[in-house]
Amino acid sequence: MSTTTDGPKNRRGTLRDEQKRATRAKLVDAARTLFEERGYAAVTVDDISSVVGCSRATFYVHFASKVEMLKTIGAAGMAASAFAFYIDLDRVLDTNSRVEFTAWLERAFDWFDENKRLLPAWDEAVALEPEFRETARDGMTELPNAMPKYLGRWPVEQHDEARLRVELLVSQLERFFTRWAVQGTIDVTRVQAAEVLTDIWFPALSPESKGGDER
């Protein structure tokens, strides 16, 4: 049987938990904003804590490091939504429709556009932090797992190559978008980019693309 003090104690515990969750959410929001504005290397734990109005000690209650913070941001947004995009690509390739593939690329451009302010910080962290580099590598190798129908169309002995083709697609899309929409060093319309990338990748993701390779 509960005592008369259980109610207030439980309420105090719930309030503390809510305050912790709120502080953690504020830290994540502040870090993402700072990473988007300044990149990864220029932002410190003190900067993030200062925006929220808490101490470094409070930051470390929630996150072991700045790297863990960026991992959290990625897992909550970029990584999860990217995985969903490749689930969708599996469906699109199953239609064997060039039109559907071009439409998928258009949606991929939208995804990059939504996340483009964070991409420079992401690339910086990959270059500077071995721990984050491993996280990024794991994320890349996980994407083909979202595409069982695609993998199923390739002979088992070619699965490694099939996975590599997806990873190369991801890499090219990332680099193209960075140069095109972030750095402005490629001058092309969205429609032209989607058409050319379709020319390259729609056939390349089919096992039949290897048919003419062997003589």
Task: Express each pLDDT in 58-112 by its tens digit.
Answer: 999 999 999 999 999 988 777 778 889 999 999 999 999 999 999 999 999 999 9
Domain 8-63 sits in CATH 1.10.3720.10: no
Residue 104 contacts residue 169 (beta carbons within 8 Å): no
Query: Is the pLDDT assigned to residue 156 strictly greater than 80?
Result: yes
Map out the domains of the chain as residue ranges. 8-63, 76-203
C-alpha distances in Å from residue 40, one per residue of 13, 125, 126: 35, 6, 10
Closest CA to 181 of 121, 91, 116, 85: 116
DSSP state of 56: H
Instruction: With cut-offs at 50, 70 and 90, classify the pLDDT of residue 211.
Output: low
Give the Cα-Cα-Cα angle 170, 141, 136 (nearest 5 degrees): 80
Mean pLDDT of 149-167: 96
Task: Express each pLDDT in 178-209 by its tens digit.
Answer: 999 989 999 999 999 999 999 999 999 999 87
Query: What local confidence, expressed as pLDDT, does residue 75 receive?
Result: 83
Residue 174 contacts residue 122 (beta carbons within 8 Å): no
